[in-house]
Structure 1
Amino acid sequence: MRFSLLSAAMVAGCFMASPLFAQQEEVKLPPQATEFYTPVVKKVTPGKENHLPPADAIVLFDGSNLNAWVSDRPGSSPAPWKVENGTFTVVPRTGGIRSKESFGDVQVHIEWSAPTVIKGTGQGRGNSGFFFMGKYELQILDSYDNETYTNGMAASIYKQHPPLVNAMRAPGEWNTYDAIFKAPRFDSNGMLVSPATITVIHNGVLVQNNVELKGPTLYIGIPHYEAHEAALPFHIQDHGDEVKFRNIWVRKLD
Protein backbone atom coordinates (compact mmCIF):
# COMPACT_ATOMS: atom_id res chain seq x y z
CA MET A 1 0.00 0.00 0.00
CA ARG A 2 2.84 2.38 0.92
CA PHE A 3 4.48 1.61 -2.43
CA SER A 4 1.28 2.27 -4.32
CA LEU A 5 0.72 5.59 -2.62
CA LEU A 6 4.32 6.59 -3.19
CA SER A 7 4.15 5.61 -6.84
CA ALA A 8 0.95 7.55 -7.33
CA ALA A 9 2.49 10.61 -5.76
CA MET A 10 5.54 10.34 -8.01
CA VAL A 11 3.38 9.99 -11.13
CA ALA A 12 1.26 12.96 -10.11
CA GLY A 13 4.42 14.96 -9.52
CA CYS A 14 5.68 14.10 -12.99
CA PHE A 15 2.45 15.31 -14.60
CA MET A 16 2.51 18.50 -12.58
CA ALA A 17 6.08 19.15 -13.62
CA SER A 18 5.31 18.48 -17.28
CA PRO A 19 5.22 21.60 -19.52
CA LEU A 20 1.86 20.42 -20.86
CA PHE A 21 0.27 20.73 -17.46
CA ALA A 22 2.35 23.42 -15.82
CA GLN A 23 0.82 26.86 -15.68
CA GLN A 24 2.85 29.25 -17.76
CA GLU A 25 4.53 31.98 -15.85
CA GLU A 26 3.31 35.45 -16.79
CA VAL A 27 5.83 37.21 -18.98
CA LYS A 28 6.41 40.64 -17.56
CA LEU A 29 7.02 43.19 -20.30
CA PRO A 30 7.17 46.95 -20.13
CA PRO A 31 4.18 48.67 -21.77
CA GLN A 32 6.54 50.05 -24.42
CA ALA A 33 7.08 46.53 -25.76
CA THR A 34 3.63 46.50 -27.35
CA GLU A 35 3.68 50.04 -28.67
CA PHE A 36 4.78 51.04 -32.17
CA TYR A 37 5.23 54.39 -33.87
CA THR A 38 5.72 53.47 -37.50
CA PRO A 39 4.32 53.63 -40.04
CA VAL A 40 3.11 57.09 -39.17
CA VAL A 41 -0.67 57.45 -39.66
CA LYS A 42 -1.52 60.00 -42.33
CA LYS A 43 -3.32 63.08 -41.04
CA VAL A 44 -6.63 63.93 -42.68
CA THR A 45 -8.65 66.97 -41.67
CA PRO A 46 -12.34 65.99 -41.42
CA GLY A 47 -15.12 68.16 -42.75
CA LYS A 48 -16.53 70.66 -40.25
CA GLU A 49 -19.85 68.83 -40.48
CA ASN A 50 -20.42 65.14 -41.16
CA HIS A 51 -21.70 65.68 -44.70
CA LEU A 52 -18.72 67.80 -45.74
CA PRO A 53 -15.80 66.04 -47.45
CA PRO A 54 -12.56 65.35 -45.58
CA ALA A 55 -9.34 66.87 -46.88
CA ASP A 56 -8.30 63.84 -48.94
CA ALA A 57 -11.66 63.34 -50.65
CA ILE A 58 -12.33 63.69 -54.36
CA VAL A 59 -15.43 65.84 -54.71
CA LEU A 60 -17.67 64.61 -57.52
CA PHE A 61 -20.41 67.17 -56.93
CA ASP A 62 -20.07 70.34 -54.86
CA GLY A 63 -23.33 71.98 -55.88
CA SER A 64 -22.01 74.03 -58.78
CA ASN A 65 -21.68 71.80 -61.86
CA LEU A 66 -21.47 68.27 -63.25
CA ASN A 67 -17.98 68.64 -64.68
CA ALA A 68 -16.90 65.39 -63.00
CA TRP A 69 -19.57 63.46 -64.92
CA VAL A 70 -20.48 62.66 -68.52
CA SER A 71 -23.48 61.13 -70.22
CA ASP A 72 -23.50 57.35 -70.08
CA ARG A 73 -24.63 57.25 -73.71
CA PRO A 74 -22.05 56.70 -76.47
CA GLY A 75 -19.88 59.72 -77.18
CA SER A 76 -19.18 60.87 -73.60
CA SER A 77 -21.13 64.09 -74.05
CA PRO A 78 -21.66 66.42 -71.05
CA ALA A 79 -23.99 65.14 -68.34
CA PRO A 80 -27.50 66.27 -69.34
CA TRP A 81 -29.06 66.54 -65.89
CA LYS A 82 -30.27 69.78 -64.29
CA VAL A 83 -28.14 71.66 -61.74
CA GLU A 84 -29.73 74.31 -59.54
CA ASN A 85 -29.69 75.50 -55.91
CA GLY A 86 -26.74 73.30 -55.01
CA THR A 87 -28.34 70.08 -56.24
CA PHE A 88 -28.69 68.15 -59.47
CA THR A 89 -31.79 66.34 -60.66
CA VAL A 90 -32.26 63.39 -62.98
CA VAL A 91 -33.79 64.49 -66.28
CA PRO A 92 -35.94 61.49 -67.19
CA ARG A 93 -35.24 59.64 -70.43
CA THR A 94 -31.91 61.38 -71.04
CA GLY A 95 -29.90 58.35 -69.86
CA GLY A 96 -27.63 57.83 -66.89
CA ILE A 97 -24.39 59.58 -66.08
CA ARG A 98 -20.95 58.20 -65.20
CA SER A 99 -17.93 59.67 -63.47
CA LYS A 100 -14.98 60.72 -65.61
CA GLU A 101 -12.59 59.18 -63.10
CA SER A 102 -12.37 55.46 -62.35
CA PHE A 103 -12.32 53.89 -58.88
CA GLY A 104 -11.71 50.58 -57.14
CA ASP A 105 -11.80 50.32 -53.33
CA VAL A 106 -13.58 53.40 -52.00
CA GLN A 107 -15.41 55.22 -49.26
CA VAL A 108 -18.34 57.09 -50.80
CA HIS A 109 -20.75 59.71 -49.45
CA ILE A 110 -23.99 60.40 -51.36
CA GLU A 111 -27.00 62.53 -50.47
CA TRP A 112 -30.26 62.08 -52.36
CA SER A 113 -33.92 63.00 -52.13
CA ALA A 114 -37.00 61.32 -53.57
CA PRO A 115 -39.51 63.53 -55.46
CA THR A 116 -42.05 65.34 -53.30
CA VAL A 117 -44.75 64.66 -55.88
CA ILE A 118 -45.48 60.97 -55.34
CA LYS A 119 -46.09 59.04 -58.53
CA GLY A 120 -46.44 55.31 -58.88
CA THR A 121 -45.77 52.51 -56.44
CA GLY A 122 -43.13 49.89 -55.86
CA GLN A 123 -40.21 50.20 -58.26
CA GLY A 124 -42.03 52.99 -60.10
CA ARG A 125 -41.60 55.51 -57.28
CA GLY A 126 -38.46 57.65 -56.82
CA ASN A 127 -36.20 55.10 -58.50
CA SER A 128 -32.52 55.52 -59.36
CA GLY A 129 -29.35 53.67 -58.42
CA PHE A 130 -25.68 54.24 -57.65
CA PHE A 131 -23.45 51.69 -59.39
CA PHE A 132 -19.96 51.03 -58.04
CA MET A 133 -17.61 50.32 -60.96
CA GLY A 134 -20.66 50.77 -63.19
CA LYS A 135 -21.68 47.22 -62.26
CA TYR A 136 -22.71 46.83 -58.60
CA GLU A 137 -25.89 48.70 -57.66
CA LEU A 138 -26.75 50.31 -54.36
CA GLN A 139 -30.48 50.89 -54.85
CA ILE A 140 -32.05 54.35 -54.62
CA LEU A 141 -35.83 54.22 -54.22
CA ASP A 142 -38.59 55.99 -52.34
CA SER A 143 -39.18 53.26 -49.75
CA TYR A 144 -41.14 55.48 -47.38
CA ASP A 145 -44.48 53.66 -46.96
CA ASN A 146 -43.94 52.03 -50.33
CA GLU A 147 -44.09 48.25 -50.60
CA THR A 148 -41.83 46.39 -53.01
CA TYR A 149 -39.58 43.32 -52.99
CA THR A 150 -37.15 43.66 -50.11
CA ASN A 151 -33.98 43.13 -52.15
CA GLY A 152 -35.11 45.98 -54.38
CA MET A 153 -35.96 48.60 -51.74
CA ALA A 154 -33.81 51.59 -50.77
CA ALA A 155 -30.34 50.66 -49.49
CA SER A 156 -30.56 47.14 -50.89
CA ILE A 157 -27.77 45.69 -52.97
CA TYR A 158 -30.19 45.32 -55.83
CA LYS A 159 -31.56 41.80 -56.32
CA GLN A 160 -28.98 40.44 -53.83
CA HIS A 161 -29.11 41.78 -50.26
CA PRO A 162 -32.05 43.58 -48.60
CA PRO A 163 -31.13 46.23 -46.02
CA LEU A 164 -31.10 45.22 -42.36
CA VAL A 165 -33.71 47.91 -41.64
CA ASN A 166 -35.71 50.53 -43.55
CA ALA A 167 -34.14 53.86 -42.54
CA MET A 168 -35.87 55.88 -45.27
CA ARG A 169 -36.89 59.50 -44.75
CA ALA A 170 -40.08 61.00 -46.20
CA PRO A 171 -40.20 62.23 -49.82
CA GLY A 172 -38.49 65.61 -50.16
CA GLU A 173 -36.21 65.01 -47.17
CA TRP A 174 -32.53 64.26 -47.70
CA ASN A 175 -31.14 60.76 -47.30
CA THR A 176 -27.46 59.94 -46.88
CA TYR A 177 -25.53 56.88 -47.93
CA ASP A 178 -22.05 56.30 -46.54
CA ALA A 179 -20.57 53.20 -48.10
CA ILE A 180 -17.30 51.26 -47.94
CA PHE A 181 -16.83 49.24 -51.13
CA LYS A 182 -14.08 46.73 -51.79
CA ALA A 183 -13.68 45.77 -55.42
CA PRO A 184 -13.42 42.13 -56.48
CA ARG A 185 -10.03 40.63 -57.25
CA PHE A 186 -9.20 38.39 -60.20
CA ASP A 187 -6.05 36.42 -60.96
CA SER A 188 -4.07 36.58 -64.21
CA ASN A 189 -6.34 33.92 -65.72
CA GLY A 190 -9.48 35.93 -64.98
CA MET A 191 -10.57 33.68 -62.11
CA LEU A 192 -12.22 35.28 -59.09
CA VAL A 193 -9.85 35.50 -56.12
CA SER A 194 -12.12 37.45 -53.76
CA PRO A 195 -15.64 38.85 -54.26
CA ALA A 196 -16.67 42.48 -53.87
CA THR A 197 -17.89 43.49 -50.42
CA ILE A 198 -19.83 46.50 -49.19
CA THR A 199 -20.85 48.15 -45.94
CA VAL A 200 -23.58 50.80 -46.09
CA ILE A 201 -24.87 53.27 -43.50
CA HIS A 202 -28.21 54.86 -44.42
CA ASN A 203 -29.08 58.02 -42.50
CA GLY A 204 -26.70 57.00 -39.72
CA VAL A 205 -28.05 53.43 -39.50
CA LEU A 206 -26.06 50.34 -40.50
CA VAL A 207 -28.03 48.59 -43.25
CA GLN A 208 -25.39 46.45 -45.06
CA ASN A 209 -22.74 44.85 -42.84
CA ASN A 210 -19.75 43.90 -45.00
CA VAL A 211 -21.87 41.71 -47.27
CA GLU A 212 -20.38 39.77 -50.18
CA LEU A 213 -21.68 40.56 -53.63
CA LYS A 214 -22.55 37.58 -55.81
CA GLY A 215 -21.54 39.38 -58.99
CA PRO A 216 -22.59 42.42 -61.02
CA THR A 217 -26.21 43.55 -60.73
CA LEU A 218 -28.69 41.76 -62.98
CA TYR A 219 -32.39 42.53 -63.34
CA ILE A 220 -33.07 39.02 -64.64
CA GLY A 221 -30.99 35.95 -63.85
CA ILE A 222 -28.37 34.83 -61.35
CA PRO A 223 -25.38 37.18 -60.92
CA HIS A 224 -21.92 35.81 -61.66
CA TYR A 225 -18.47 37.35 -61.92
CA GLU A 226 -16.51 38.00 -65.07
CA ALA A 227 -13.04 39.51 -64.87
CA HIS A 228 -12.85 43.28 -65.33
CA GLU A 229 -10.55 46.22 -64.73
CA ALA A 230 -9.36 47.04 -61.20
CA ALA A 231 -10.87 50.54 -61.45
CA LEU A 232 -13.99 51.68 -63.32
CA PRO A 233 -16.29 54.75 -63.28
CA PHE A 234 -19.33 55.18 -61.05
CA HIS A 235 -22.75 55.24 -62.70
CA ILE A 236 -25.97 56.94 -61.58
CA GLN A 237 -29.13 55.60 -63.15
CA ASP A 238 -31.90 57.36 -65.01
CA HIS A 239 -34.95 55.26 -64.12
CA GLY A 240 -37.47 57.89 -65.22
CA ASP A 241 -37.88 59.66 -61.85
CA GLU A 242 -36.71 63.15 -60.84
CA VAL A 243 -34.46 62.09 -57.98
CA LYS A 244 -32.22 64.84 -56.60
CA PHE A 245 -28.58 64.55 -55.48
CA ARG A 246 -26.06 66.70 -53.60
CA ASN A 247 -22.73 66.44 -51.76
CA ILE A 248 -21.12 63.48 -53.50
CA TRP A 249 -17.53 62.72 -52.56
CA VAL A 250 -15.22 59.73 -52.57
CA ARG A 251 -12.00 58.59 -50.89
CA LYS A 252 -9.79 56.05 -52.62
CA LEU A 253 -8.89 53.19 -50.29
CA ASP A 254 -6.62 51.20 -52.55
Structure 2
Amino acid sequence: MSKYALLLIPTLFGMSAIAQEKTDPAKEAAKTEIWEPVPKIVTPGNLPQDAPSDAIVLFNGRNLDEWHSVKDPSKPAAWTIDDGFFTVKKGTGNIETNKKFTDYQLHMEWKIPANITGTDQARGNSGVFLASTGPGDDGYEIQIMDAYKNKTYVNGQTGSVYKQSIPLANANKKPGEWQYYDIIWNAPRFNEDGSVSKPASVTVFLNGVLLQNNFVLKGETRWIGAPEYKKHGAASIKLQDHGDPSPPISFRNIWVREL
Protein backbone atom coordinates (compact mmCIF):
# COMPACT_ATOMS: atom_id res chain seq x y z
CA MET A 1 0.00 0.00 0.00
CA SER A 2 1.38 3.40 -0.94
CA LYS A 3 2.14 6.04 1.66
CA TYR A 4 -0.58 8.19 0.07
CA ALA A 5 -3.22 5.50 0.68
CA LEU A 6 -2.10 5.16 4.27
CA LEU A 7 -2.48 8.90 4.72
CA LEU A 8 -6.00 8.81 3.19
CA ILE A 9 -7.41 6.11 5.52
CA PRO A 10 -7.50 8.20 8.71
CA THR A 11 -8.96 11.08 6.72
CA LEU A 12 -11.90 8.92 5.56
CA PHE A 13 -12.47 7.61 9.06
CA GLY A 14 -12.45 11.16 10.34
CA MET A 15 -15.03 12.29 7.79
CA SER A 16 -17.28 9.34 8.70
CA ALA A 17 -17.05 10.16 12.39
CA ILE A 18 -17.97 13.79 11.73
CA ALA A 19 -20.97 12.74 9.62
CA GLN A 20 -22.21 10.47 12.41
CA GLU A 21 -21.76 13.22 14.97
CA LYS A 22 -23.87 15.61 12.85
CA THR A 23 -26.83 13.17 12.59
CA ASP A 24 -29.20 14.18 15.39
CA PRO A 25 -31.98 11.56 15.89
CA ALA A 26 -34.35 14.11 17.38
CA LYS A 27 -33.98 16.38 14.36
CA GLU A 28 -34.49 13.46 11.98
CA ALA A 29 -37.63 12.39 13.86
CA ALA A 30 -38.93 15.96 13.79
CA LYS A 31 -39.04 15.85 10.00
CA THR A 32 -42.09 13.54 10.16
CA GLU A 33 -43.86 15.25 13.09
CA ILE A 34 -47.08 17.17 12.38
CA TRP A 35 -48.16 19.82 14.90
CA GLU A 36 -51.14 21.47 13.20
CA PRO A 37 -54.09 21.54 12.88
CA VAL A 38 -54.66 20.63 16.52
CA PRO A 39 -57.69 18.30 17.01
CA LYS A 40 -60.58 19.87 18.89
CA ILE A 41 -61.11 18.87 22.49
CA VAL A 42 -64.18 16.69 23.09
CA THR A 43 -65.16 15.71 26.61
CA PRO A 44 -66.48 12.14 26.60
CA GLY A 45 -69.48 11.04 28.63
CA ASN A 46 -69.00 9.23 31.91
CA LEU A 47 -70.14 6.00 30.27
CA PRO A 48 -69.65 4.89 26.64
CA GLN A 49 -73.35 5.43 25.90
CA ASP A 50 -73.40 8.95 27.35
CA ALA A 51 -73.37 11.84 24.89
CA PRO A 52 -69.98 13.58 24.54
CA SER A 53 -69.67 17.34 24.79
CA ASP A 54 -70.04 18.03 21.05
CA ALA A 55 -73.07 15.77 20.48
CA ILE A 56 -76.50 16.91 19.34
CA VAL A 57 -79.06 15.22 21.59
CA LEU A 58 -81.99 14.03 19.50
CA PHE A 59 -84.01 12.64 22.39
CA ASN A 60 -83.63 14.01 25.90
CA GLY A 61 -86.01 11.57 27.58
CA ARG A 62 -88.83 14.11 27.85
CA ASN A 63 -90.09 15.18 24.42
CA LEU A 64 -89.77 14.72 20.66
CA ASP A 65 -89.09 18.37 19.87
CA GLU A 66 -86.22 17.38 17.58
CA TRP A 67 -88.53 15.27 15.37
CA HIS A 68 -91.51 15.72 13.07
CA SER A 69 -93.96 13.57 11.15
CA VAL A 70 -92.82 12.39 7.71
CA LYS A 71 -96.41 12.36 6.44
CA ASP A 72 -96.78 16.04 7.32
CA PRO A 73 -93.50 17.82 8.17
CA SER A 74 -95.50 20.71 9.65
CA LYS A 75 -96.72 18.40 12.44
CA PRO A 76 -94.67 17.17 15.40
CA ALA A 77 -93.83 13.51 15.86
CA ALA A 78 -96.85 11.79 17.41
CA TRP A 79 -95.18 8.75 18.96
CA THR A 80 -95.81 7.96 22.63
CA ILE A 81 -93.54 9.46 25.30
CA ASP A 82 -93.00 7.44 28.48
CA ASP A 83 -90.53 7.55 31.36
CA GLY A 84 -87.26 8.35 29.56
CA PHE A 85 -88.15 6.61 26.29
CA PHE A 86 -90.63 6.81 23.43
CA THR A 87 -92.56 4.12 21.54
CA VAL A 88 -93.82 3.77 17.99
CA LYS A 89 -97.48 4.82 17.80
CA LYS A 90 -98.95 2.59 15.13
CA GLY A 91 -100.62 4.27 12.21
CA THR A 92 -99.01 7.67 12.72
CA GLY A 93 -96.25 6.96 10.21
CA ASN A 94 -92.52 7.46 10.23
CA ILE A 95 -90.79 10.30 12.08
CA GLU A 96 -87.61 12.14 11.15
CA THR A 97 -85.26 14.74 12.62
CA ASN A 98 -85.85 18.43 12.06
CA LYS A 99 -82.12 18.89 11.50
CA LYS A 100 -80.44 17.52 8.39
CA PHE A 101 -77.05 15.82 8.45
CA THR A 102 -74.32 14.67 6.10
CA ASP A 103 -71.59 12.57 7.77
CA TYR A 104 -72.06 11.63 11.40
CA GLN A 105 -71.65 9.28 14.35
CA LEU A 106 -74.98 8.08 15.72
CA HIS A 107 -75.80 6.42 19.04
CA MET A 108 -79.30 5.09 19.68
CA GLU A 109 -80.88 2.57 22.01
CA TRP A 110 -83.96 0.46 21.33
CA LYS A 111 -85.99 -2.32 22.91
CA ILE A 112 -88.16 -5.07 21.50
CA PRO A 113 -91.10 -5.50 23.92
CA ALA A 114 -90.96 -8.58 26.13
CA ASN A 115 -94.47 -9.58 25.00
CA ILE A 116 -93.51 -9.53 21.30
CA THR A 117 -95.54 -11.74 18.96
CA GLY A 118 -95.29 -12.76 15.32
CA THR A 119 -92.54 -14.38 13.28
CA ASP A 120 -90.06 -13.55 10.53
CA GLN A 121 -90.20 -9.86 9.55
CA ALA A 122 -93.50 -9.26 11.38
CA ARG A 123 -91.83 -9.28 14.80
CA GLY A 124 -90.82 -5.92 16.21
CA ASN A 125 -89.90 -4.57 12.80
CA SER A 126 -88.64 -1.02 12.49
CA GLY A 127 -85.53 0.61 11.08
CA VAL A 128 -83.27 3.61 11.20
CA PHE A 129 -82.86 5.40 7.85
CA LEU A 130 -79.52 7.15 7.83
CA ALA A 131 -80.58 9.70 5.24
CA SER A 132 -84.28 10.23 4.65
CA THR A 133 -84.62 11.27 1.02
CA GLY A 134 -88.38 11.37 0.56
CA PRO A 135 -91.81 10.88 2.15
CA GLY A 136 -91.78 7.14 1.42
CA ASP A 137 -89.32 4.58 2.72
CA ASP A 138 -86.57 5.62 0.33
CA GLY A 139 -83.24 6.19 2.01
CA TYR A 140 -80.58 3.99 3.53
CA GLU A 141 -81.96 1.60 6.14
CA ILE A 142 -80.22 -0.26 8.93
CA GLN A 143 -82.77 -2.87 9.91
CA ILE A 144 -84.23 -3.17 13.41
CA MET A 145 -86.32 -6.18 14.40
CA ASP A 146 -86.34 -9.11 16.79
CA ALA A 147 -83.63 -11.40 15.45
CA TYR A 148 -83.22 -13.29 18.73
CA LYS A 149 -84.14 -16.89 17.89
CA ASN A 150 -86.37 -15.61 15.08
CA LYS A 151 -85.54 -16.87 11.60
CA THR A 152 -85.76 -14.46 8.65
CA TYR A 153 -83.82 -13.70 5.48
CA VAL A 154 -80.34 -12.75 6.60
CA ASN A 155 -80.01 -9.59 4.48
CA GLY A 156 -83.09 -8.33 6.32
CA GLN A 157 -82.26 -9.20 9.92
CA THR A 158 -81.16 -6.75 12.59
CA GLY A 159 -77.93 -4.98 11.63
CA SER A 160 -78.27 -5.58 7.92
CA VAL A 161 -78.00 -2.80 5.39
CA TYR A 162 -81.47 -3.76 4.26
CA LYS A 163 -81.37 -6.09 1.22
CA GLN A 164 -77.71 -5.15 0.60
CA SER A 165 -75.38 -6.46 3.29
CA ILE A 166 -75.68 -9.38 5.71
CA PRO A 167 -74.49 -8.53 9.24
CA LEU A 168 -71.19 -10.08 10.31
CA ALA A 169 -72.82 -11.52 13.44
CA ASN A 170 -76.12 -11.87 15.27
CA ALA A 171 -75.58 -9.92 18.51
CA ASN A 172 -79.25 -9.51 19.42
CA LYS A 173 -80.39 -9.58 23.03
CA LYS A 174 -83.65 -11.23 23.95
CA PRO A 175 -86.88 -9.19 23.87
CA GLY A 176 -87.38 -6.93 26.87
CA GLU A 177 -83.71 -5.88 27.08
CA TRP A 178 -82.34 -2.54 25.86
CA GLN A 179 -79.95 -2.78 22.91
CA TYR A 180 -77.80 -0.13 21.30
CA TYR A 181 -76.47 0.85 17.90
CA ASP A 182 -73.33 2.87 17.28
CA ILE A 183 -73.20 3.86 13.61
CA ILE A 184 -70.69 5.77 11.50
CA TRP A 185 -72.34 7.16 8.37
CA ASN A 186 -70.50 8.68 5.42
CA ALA A 187 -73.07 10.13 3.04
CA PRO A 188 -72.75 9.80 -0.74
CA ARG A 189 -71.49 12.65 -2.87
CA PHE A 190 -72.89 13.55 -6.28
CA ASN A 191 -71.73 15.37 -9.38
CA GLU A 192 -73.79 18.20 -10.86
CA ASP A 193 -75.38 15.82 -13.36
CA GLY A 194 -76.58 13.51 -10.57
CA SER A 195 -73.95 10.83 -11.06
CA VAL A 196 -72.20 9.45 -7.99
CA SER A 197 -68.77 10.89 -7.27
CA LYS A 198 -68.41 8.94 -4.01
CA PRO A 199 -70.78 6.20 -2.76
CA ALA A 200 -72.05 6.05 0.80
CA SER A 201 -70.41 3.83 3.39
CA VAL A 202 -71.43 2.69 6.86
CA THR A 203 -69.97 1.01 9.93
CA VAL A 204 -72.41 -0.51 12.43
CA PHE A 205 -71.95 -1.85 15.96
CA LEU A 206 -74.79 -3.60 17.80
CA ASN A 207 -74.27 -3.99 21.56
CA GLY A 208 -70.55 -3.41 21.03
CA VAL A 209 -70.24 -6.07 18.30
CA LEU A 210 -69.17 -5.07 14.77
CA LEU A 211 -71.89 -5.93 12.23
CA GLN A 212 -70.95 -3.76 9.22
CA ASN A 213 -67.31 -2.89 8.54
CA ASN A 214 -67.21 0.22 6.34
CA PHE A 215 -69.68 -1.32 3.90
CA VAL A 216 -70.00 0.60 0.62
CA LEU A 217 -73.67 0.92 -0.35
CA LYS A 218 -74.95 0.22 -3.85
CA GLY A 219 -77.63 2.88 -3.49
CA GLU A 220 -80.77 3.50 -1.47
CA THR A 221 -82.26 0.43 0.18
CA ARG A 222 -85.39 -1.02 -1.37
CA TRP A 223 -87.87 -3.70 -0.41
CA ILE A 224 -88.45 -4.57 -4.08
CA GLY A 225 -85.88 -4.14 -6.82
CA ALA A 226 -82.23 -3.29 -7.03
CA PRO A 227 -80.73 -0.41 -5.05
CA GLU A 228 -79.84 2.77 -6.88
CA TYR A 229 -78.74 6.29 -6.05
CA LYS A 230 -80.61 9.51 -6.64
CA LYS A 231 -78.98 12.86 -6.01
CA HIS A 232 -79.55 14.46 -2.62
CA GLY A 233 -77.77 16.61 -0.09
CA ALA A 234 -77.93 16.75 3.69
CA ALA A 235 -80.86 14.69 4.96
CA SER A 236 -82.81 13.84 8.11
CA ILE A 237 -82.46 10.68 10.17
CA LYS A 238 -85.69 8.70 10.04
CA LEU A 239 -87.29 6.07 12.31
CA GLN A 240 -89.83 3.66 10.88
CA ASP A 241 -93.41 2.88 11.85
CA HIS A 242 -93.54 -0.51 10.14
CA GLY A 243 -97.15 -1.21 11.06
CA ASP A 244 -96.72 -4.75 12.35
CA PRO A 245 -99.55 -6.34 14.36
CA SER A 246 -97.00 -7.19 17.08
CA PRO A 247 -96.39 -4.76 19.98
CA PRO A 248 -94.29 -1.77 18.85
CA ILE A 249 -90.69 -1.12 19.84
CA SER A 250 -89.26 1.71 21.94
CA PHE A 251 -86.27 4.07 21.67
CA ARG A 252 -84.15 6.15 24.06
CA ASN A 253 -80.82 7.97 24.41
CA ILE A 254 -80.36 9.13 20.82
CA TRP A 255 -77.48 11.49 20.01
CA VAL A 256 -75.38 12.35 16.98
CA ARG A 257 -71.97 13.88 16.32
CA GLU A 258 -71.45 15.62 13.00
CA LEU A 259 -68.20 14.57 11.32
Please give the range of the TM-score, normalised by the shorter of the 2 chains: 0.7 to 0.9
Q: Shift in Å at residue 164 of structure 1?
A: 0.2
TM-score of the pair, normalised by structure 2: 0.85
Choose which of 132, 144, 147 in structure 2 pairs with 1:143: 147
Choose which of 34, 37, 43 in structure 1 pairs with 2:35: 37
> What does residue 52 of structure 1 align with?
50
Measure, in 2, the Cα distance between the counterparts of 1:57 and 1:131.
19
| 3-state secondary structure, aligned to 2:89 | coil
> What does residue 238 of structure 2 align with?
235
> What does residue 136 of structure 2 align with?
none
| Matching of residue 113 in structure 1 with residue 102 in structure 2 | no
Aligned length: 227
Q: Shift in Å at residue 170 of structure 1?
A: 0.6
> What does residue 92 of structure 2 align with?
94
> What does residue 215 of structure 2 align with?
211
1:119-130 superposed matches below 5 A: 119-130=117-128
Deviations 1:191-221 (A, max 9, x none): 1111100000110011100001111111000
Deviations 1:202-247 (A, max 9, x none): 1001110000111111100001111112x01111000125111000
Choose which of 81, 84, 89 in structure 1 pairs with 2:82: 84
> What does residue 188 of structure 1 align with?
192
| 3-state secondary structure, aligned to 2:210 | strand
Measure, in 2, the Cα distance between the counterparts of 1:166 and 1:27.
54
Choose which of 183, 208, 211 in structure 2 pairs with 1:179: 183
TM-score of the pair, normalised by structure 1: 0.87
> What does residue 203 of structure 2 align with?
199
Amino acid at match of 1:207: L
Q: Shift in Å at residue 27 of structure 1?
A: 11
Choose which of 54, 66, 69 in structure 1 pairs with 2:67: 69
Measure, in 2, the Cα distance between the counterparts of 1:75 and 1:100.
9
| 3-state secondary structure, aligned to 2:155 | helix
| 3-state secondary structure, aligned to 1:31 | helix
Amino acid at match of 1:247: N
Judged with a 3 Å threshold, the aligned counterparts in structure 2 of structure 1 residues 38 and 188 are, in CA distance, closer, same or farther, namely same
Judged with a 3 Å threshold, the aligned counterparts in structure 2 of structure 1 residues 99 and 30 are, in CA distance, closer, same or farther, namely same
Amino acid at match of 1:143: A
> What does residue 19 of structure 1 align with?
none
Amino acid at match of 1:251: R
Amino acid at match of 2:83: N
> What does residue 165 of structure 1 align with?
169
Measure, in 1, the Cα distance between the counterparts of 2:151 and 2:210.
21
Amino acid at match of 1:243: I
> What does residue 228 of structure 2 align with?
224
Measure, in 1, the Cα distance between the counterparts of 2:74 and 2:126.
20
* Bigger mean CA offset, 212-221 vs 74-83: 74-83
Amino acid at match of 1:252: E
* Bigger mean CA offset, 41-50 vs 239-248: 239-248
Q: Pairwise CA RMSD of aligned residues?
A: 1.4
